[in-house]
Amino acid sequence: MKAKKILDSFNYAFEGIIYTLKTQRNMRIHFVIAVLVLFASVFFHLSKVETLILFITIALVIIAEMINTSIEATIDLITDKYHELAKIAKNVAAGAVLVSAVNSIIVAYIIFYDKLNKISLILIYKVRAMPIHITFISLIIVIFVSIGVKAYFGNGTPLRGGMPSGHAAISFSIFIAVVFLSKNTLIITLAFILAILVVQSRIEAGIHSLMQVLVGAFLGALITLFIFQLIY
């Protein structure tokens, strides 16, 4: 009986994780990013201390998201009416998730900065002498392709809504161009953050769905990457 109770405890715990994954979009995002970071860490030969910090940081983000979900569920169980204290509880829990997420970005940046900087210097320096007009040609092609795909799907306008997101395509096209033209990892990181903010703003404004911005970002990045690699 005791062994069964322990097994049931594990089952309940996994059910909680699965429920959070099924119902919370942010949790799914955290999981995908965690998998990508852990996969990347294999190729960067992290020390034991760096690996330990990485695992702790990932765990903190996931734990914070799960606590946030449990608090929201508890409040919704207690009342379905608006209450200032319920709002405060939910906002504070969401703030804890935000703090842990920002902390994870800082930790990942500190751990991977030097390693990424060395790789970028090796790979990017070779193409820094490319004519600047290649960047503008890439942007124009990305814009034309985005409009063409929108015309194919028949929804949205060239500047608003529809599949794919033109803003996401252009922002990630610029990001890839910066990757090739700059040898500074900090500048590349800032360009990536700006691209993410553009994508996030389109979703928050209700102009595009997550799928539309993902397709746009992939399209813009892929076209620009292909052009730079082709010229190189």
65 catalytic residue (yes or no): yes
pLDDT band at 228, cuts 50/70/90? confident
Q: What is the mean pLDDT of the chain?
A: 77
Find the catalytic residue in 65, 72, 84, 204.
65
Which pLDDT score is estimated for 29?
83
Asked if 147 contacts 198 with a C-beta cutoff of 8 angstroms, the reply is no
- Alpha-carbon span 144 to 164, nearest angstrom: 12
Residue-wise pLDDT tens digits, 112-147: 877 776 665 555 555 454 555 566 667 667 766 666
CB-based contacts of 87: which residues, under 8 Å, 6+ apart?
Answer: none
pLDDT band at 60, cuts 50/70/90? very high
Mean pLDDT of 167-180: 83
- Alpha-carbon span 169 to 219, nearest angstrom: 6
- Alpha-carbon span 172 to 179, nearest angstrom: 10
pLDDT at position 39 over 80: no
Its pTM stands at: 0.53
Phi-psi region at 206: left, alpha or beta (left = phi > 0; alpha = psi -120 to 50): left
